[in-house]
Each structure stands twice: as structure tokens, then as C-alpha cells.
């Protein structure tokens, strides 16, 4: 299935999740009413149970389950993947991290993000977790996070870590991630009664009063009822998760072109004393999100490790791999020389097929692109201040008078310090090849997201001032501004779009006219931003139609050139349709 089919599949799985959730709630309500029935007849064996007892039990149970579910869903909707990472007790890795292992992790995530066309996600490490595990979380590809345990960071070599991260990116692109985070919110309500029972049992164990026995009895009853919710939650997670893990393993092999990477990582799990067991209190609730089994369960959320290795790499020889494993790390490729070709020769259909695909060879290309970004510039954009200055520098005109007007606008809109830093970086930004601009922006985004809300607002205001000041607004400038606004907006979108192109023909026409006619009048930044915001609400298959039309418009002269391809990649990024680099060299 392609990217858009996977998005539709994930949406259908959400409907199945709702159905299973409803069945679980009915089962718990029935169990509560059964307990109330037994308790009432125990005290009054000759009297029929009043209907009000059943109604009270059902209403109270429904109110408790639904309120917990709504609170958890609202919490995750506002915090997205970052909220899930905090639940797991993970620490965000700073873009300018000095630790060698954390730098390696950031580098692997960056190159896979650039290779797949996904915005570089926030990266987290679960300190104190010595098991080998990882997860991706978020509502959409542009607001994802990737987290790994300290054990994975310390145990896996670079190839193996790359295999695990590629597996997680498959979940990002296949729509699994949105479903996983919805399951986390929805299932919270049906396991909550059991959690209350565990809490009461723990309190009774520490109590010394004569009421401790009654607390234990109530706790046992709640645990018994909660066991139904736990059982249903495990069934739901197992039903939704197992086959997706095989798909993600296969995608990792296809993307990295190295079956030893994912098979080697799984083999290290088989060897590890701690295995994949996570100690965090939410390990069971989040078990469907992890790379491998994170907590005991009656119904396995993941296939057996041996079977995953066999499917991912049928000829894998564990003993031979372990003997040569220490020498398996490849040397970093040399930076590519010169500019990419003027014409990349992609047909619209071939480019459309790349959206959301983990295409072999793109990781090597992404690594070359990253190495082509000057090391000094890469170091600057790992801090919020340097990343902000770099984005402003990208907007600066080559004309001295226009550039001076832009710098004046930035001083007024933000600060003299930002204007000065942007002017200092202007020569490096101007010399950056067109094909390197989006990768460089991607590398800068994690630092920008870590900035304070005031700093993010100042950056957007400064970008607007720089774009307006020279009175020559390019489409590239408008789309970069839209991308930055989208990425720094805060809370991610929590629901898939359902609009059709027929409903949004006017905003679609804005984009099509700009791509098909380079001389067309440029809209104001707000107008383009409004058009892109509206188009984000398209249903997955409708986004596919829009991207097909945009690619055809760019290909109207018979070829997709570098500037057109990068512009299309920027538009695709804003619409959450990850489009990898189109270049081959």
C-alpha cells in the first residue's frame, strides 16, 4: 500500500478501535451490575433487586470510564508526542548535545528524516531504562517524537540503531503512530477501575486500622472488575499491533538496504539480560507503541523475536553476525562534490509514488546532503539563536539596499541581536545550494521548537518583516514562512482531515496558479498561509489528488527542476505528505 492508502487504513482501524472500546465498556458495566446484584441479594436474599441499582451502577461506571478517557485524550491532544515521551519518563536530547552516543542518535534520526521527507522529530532518551526498546509518538509526521531507551543507545551499534529508527519511521509514515496515541488515550478509561483497585490494595497493605479488611475486600472487587478492562485492552492492542510490526521490520530492511541492521538489533535483544522490559509505570499502557514487548501480557502485542528475525532476514546467521559485529560499522561517505544537476527528470507519477515511501538509497543520499552542509553552519543551527538567525539569513536579498531594508525590519520586529546574527550568517546562507536548503531547515527545526514561546513569536515576526521589506515576495519565501509557522504553532492537529478538493477548490487554485505560472501575482503571506491551513483538512486520498495536480503543474514544461522540486517538498511538508529528496546524486 502507498502512503495515502495507509492513512485510510489507519482511519478504518480507528473505527475498529471505537467498536472494541464500546464492547469493553459494556463488559465492565455488566460486571459492575453483576457485583451489585450479588451484594444486594446477599443482604436481602428474599427481595428482588430494584432497577435503580442497575441504573446507578451503569451510569456511575460509564461516567467514570468516559471522564478518564476524555481527560487522557485531551491531555494527549494538547501535548502530542512530547506528552507521551514525558509519560515514559524520557528526557529530550538537546540538538547541540555533547555526549557521543546522543550525537550518534541525533545524526541517525536526522539522516532518516531527511531521506524520508519527514521533518526532523524531537528525540528523547529514557534514562535508567537498560532494556533495548524504542517508540515513535505523535498525531502527524510533522509533530512526531522518537524515543529510545538508554540500553538501546548503549548496546546497539550504528547500523542496528539505524534499523530500529527506520522501523519507527515506518510507523510514522504508515499512520500507525496516530492510531497508537489514540489507543493510549481511549484505553486509559477501561483500565482505570483496576488501577483504583491496585491503589486501594497498596493502601490497605500499609494500613494498621480495623477498616483495612474492608478496604482489601473492595480493592479485590475493583481488581476483579478492572481485570476485564485490562483483558479487553490487551486484546485490542494485540489485534491492532502484531501485523504492523512485521510491516515495519520489512520497511526498515527495504529502507536501509541492510537486513543485518534490524536483524542484528533483534538479536541483541535476544542476548540482553534485561531484554525489552521497561520499568516505567506506563509500560503496560504503552506496550503497543514500543519496538518490542515492554511489559508482560496475556495477549502478545508483538510477534516473537525469533520469528521477526526470520521474516526480516531469512538467511540471518546469528553466530556469524556476532563474530563480525564489532567491525560492521561502515565508514562515513565523503561529501558529494559540486551542485546537483539542473534537471532531476522525475515524472509526476514517479514523484507521487515517493510520498511517504522509505525508498532504498535515500539514507545514503541524506547522509551526503548532511555532510554537504558546512560544519560551521551545522554547529550554529543547533542552538535556538543560531537556527533563528539562519532562517532570517535565507530570506536576505543579494541586493545591498534591499538587504539593508530587511535587516532594519528584523531589528524593529525582533531584536538588533537577531538582525546582526542573520547578517553574519548571510554569506553562508547565500552560498548554500538550493538542494541543501530544506535539509538545513530540517536540521534547524528541533532547536527552534526548543526555544521559548516568545522567541518563536519573535522569529515569525522577523521572517515576515524580512519578506515584506524588499517588496519582492517569492513563492519560496512564502512557503518557508508557512512551514515555520506550522512547525512552531504548538499543539499538533489531532484529527485526520475529511474535506474534498471540490470543497477547497479556491485554496487549491492558489497553489496551482503559483506553480503553473511563475509570473503570477504573489498573494500576501496571510493569504497563502490561510490556503495551506485549509488544505491541511483534506482527506488522505484528496491530498493525493492535490499533490498529483501540483506535480503535474511543476512538470508542465517536461521536467521537474531543482527549485520546483524543493518548493514541492516544502508544500508537501506543510500538508503532512512527506516527500523525500528527488535527487539521485
The residues annotated as belonging to the active site are 168
Q: What CA–CA distance (Å, rounded) separates 178 from 141?
A: 9
DSSP 149: E
> Which runs of consecutive H residues, i.e. helices, occur in 450-561?
453-469, 475-487, 505-516, 525-535, 540-554
Q: What CA–CA distance (Å, rounded) separates 389 from 392?
A: 5
Q: What CA–CA distance (Å, rounded) separates 488 from 451?
A: 9
Q: What CA–CA distance (Å, rounded) separates 326 from 316?
A: 17
Q: Which of 559, 558, 582 is nearest to 570 (CA)?
A: 582
Which CA distances in Å does 85 have to 114, 145, 146, 343?
Answer: 22, 8, 8, 42
Q: What CA–CA distance (Å, rounded) separates 116 from 96?
A: 23
Pairing of strands 91-92, 122-126: antiparallel
Helix H or strand E segment including 148: strand 145-149
Residues in the chain: 585
User: Is residue 312 a contact partner of residue 118, using CB atoms and an 8 Å limit?
Assistant: no
Q: Which of 165, 516, 512 is nearest to 358 (CA)?
A: 165
User: Is residue 256 a contact partner of residue 163, using CB atoms and an 8 Å limit?
Assistant: yes
Q: How many CA atoms lie within 13 A of 450 on its CB side?
A: 25
Long-range (24+ apart) CB contacts under 8 A made by 303-309 are: 303/242, 303/245, 303/246, 305/266, 305/269, 305/270, 306/270, 308/245, 308/246, 308/249, 308/266, 309/263, 309/266, 309/267, 309/270
User: Is residue 157 a contact partner of residue 325, using CB atoms and an 8 Å limit?
Assistant: yes
128 φ/ψ sector (left φ>0, alpha ψ -120 to 50, else beta):
left
Give strand ranges (E) for 19-144: 91-92, 122-126, 134-137
Q: What CA–CA distance (Å, rounded) separates 405 from 462?
A: 12
User: Is residue 118 a contact partner of residue 84, using CB atoms and an 8 Å limit?
Assistant: no
Handedness of CA 269, 272, 273, 274 (dihedral sign): negative
The residues, ordered by sequence, that sit 6+ positions from 263 with a Cβ below 8 Å of its Cβ are: 163, 309, 312, 313, 316, 321
Amino acid at each position: 500500500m502507498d502512503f495515502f492508502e495507509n492513512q485510510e487504513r489507519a482511519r478504518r482501524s480507528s473505527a475498529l478501535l471505537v467498536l472494541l472500546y464500546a464492547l469493553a465498556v459494556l463488559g465492565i458495566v455488566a460486571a459492575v451490575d453483576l457485583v451489585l446484584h450479588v451484594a444486594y441479594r446477599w443482604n436481602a436474599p428474599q427481595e428482588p433487586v430494584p432497577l435503580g441499582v442497575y441504573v446507578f451502577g451503569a451510569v456511575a461506571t460509564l461516567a467514570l470510564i468516559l471522564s478518564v478517557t476524555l481527560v487522557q485524550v485531551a491531555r494527549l491532544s494538547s501535548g502530542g508526542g512530547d506528552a507521551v515521551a514525558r509519560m515514559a519518563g524520557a528526557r529530550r536530547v538537546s540538538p547541540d548535545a555533547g555526549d557521543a552516543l546522543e550525537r550518534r542518535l541525533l545524526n541517525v534520526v536526522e539522516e532518516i528524516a531527511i531521506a524520508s521527507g519527514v521533518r526532523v522529530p524531537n528525540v528523547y532518551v529514557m534514562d535508567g531504562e537498560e532494556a533495548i526498546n524504542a517508540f515513535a509518538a505523535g498525531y502527524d509526521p510533522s509533530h512526531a517524537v522518537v524515543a529510545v531507551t538508554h540500553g538501546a543507545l548503549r548496546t546497539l551499534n550504528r547500523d542496528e540503531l539505524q534499523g530500529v529508527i527506520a522501523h519507527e519511521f515506518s510507523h510514522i509514515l504508515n499512520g500507525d503512530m496516530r492510531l497508537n496515541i489514540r489507543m493510549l488515550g481511549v484505553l486509559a478509561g477501561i483500565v482505570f477501575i483496576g488501577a483504583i483497585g491496585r491503589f486501594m490494595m497498596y493502601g490497605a497493605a500499609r494500613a494498621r486500622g480495623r477498616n483495612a479488611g474492608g478496604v482489601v475486600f473492595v480493592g479485590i472487587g475493583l481488581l476483579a472488575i478492572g481485570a476485564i478492562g485490562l483483558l479487553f485492552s490487551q486484546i485490542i492492542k494485540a489485534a491492532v499491533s502484531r501485523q504492523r510490526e512485521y510491516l515495519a521490520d520489512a520497511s526498515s530492511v527495504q529502507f536501509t538496504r541492510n537486513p543485518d541492521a534490524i536483524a542484528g538489533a533483534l538479536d541483541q535483544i535476544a542476548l540482553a539480560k534485561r531484554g525489552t522490559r521497561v520499568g516505567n509505570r506506563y509500560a503496560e499502557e504503552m506496550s503497543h507503541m514500543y519496538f518490542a514487548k515492554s511489559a508482560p501480557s496475556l495477549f502478545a502485542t508483538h510477534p516473537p523475536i525469533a520469528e521477526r528475525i526470520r521474516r526480516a532476514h531469512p538467511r540471518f546467521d546469528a553466530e556469524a553476525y556476532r563474530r563480525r559485529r564489532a567491525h560492521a560499522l561502515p565508514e562515513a561517505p565523503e561529501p558529494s562534490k559540486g551542485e546537483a544537476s539542473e534537471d532531476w527528470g522525475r515524472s509526476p507519477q514517479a514523484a507521487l509514488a515517493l510520498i511517504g515511501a522509505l525508498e532504498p538509497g535515500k539514507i545514503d543520499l541524506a547522509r551526503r546532503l548532511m555532510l554537504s552542509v558546512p560544519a560551521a553552519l551545522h554547529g550554529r543551527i543547533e542552538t535556538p539563536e543560531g537556527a533563528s538567525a539562519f532562517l532570517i539569513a535565507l530570506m536576505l536579498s543579494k541586493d545591498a539596499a534591499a538587504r539593508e531594508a530587511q535587516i532594519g525590519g528584523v531589528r524593529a520586529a525582533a531584536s538588533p541581536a537577531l538582525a546582526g546574527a542573520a547578517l553574519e550568517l548571510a554569506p553562508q546562507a547565500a552560498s548554500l545550494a538550493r538542494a541543501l536548503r530544506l535539509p538545513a531547515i530540517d536540521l534547524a527545526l528541533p532547536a527552534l521548537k526548543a526555544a521559548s514561546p516568545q522567541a518563536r513569536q519573535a522569529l515569525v515576526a522577523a521572517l515576515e518583516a524580512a519578506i515584506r521589506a524588499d517588496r519582492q515576495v517569492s513563492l519560496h519565501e512564502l512557503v518557508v514562512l508557512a512551514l515555520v509557522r506550522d512547525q512552531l504553532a504548538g499543539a499538533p492537529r489531532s484529527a485526520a482531515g475529511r474535506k474534498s478538493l471540490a470543497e477547497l477548490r479556491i485554496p487549491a487554485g492558489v497553489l496551482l496558479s503559483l506553480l503553473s505560472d511563475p509570473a503570477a501575482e504573489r498573494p500576501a503571506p496571510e493569504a497563502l498561509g490561510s490556503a495551506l491551513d485549509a488544505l491541511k483538512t483534506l482527506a488522505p486520498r484528496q491530498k493525493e489528488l492535490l499533490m498529483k495536480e501540483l506535480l503535474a503543474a511543476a512538470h508542465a514544461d517536461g521536467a521537474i527542476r531543482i527549485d520546483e522540486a524543493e518548493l514541492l517538498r516544502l508544500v508537501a511538508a506543510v500538508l503532512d505528505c512527506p516527500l523525500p529528496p528527488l535527487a539521485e546524486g
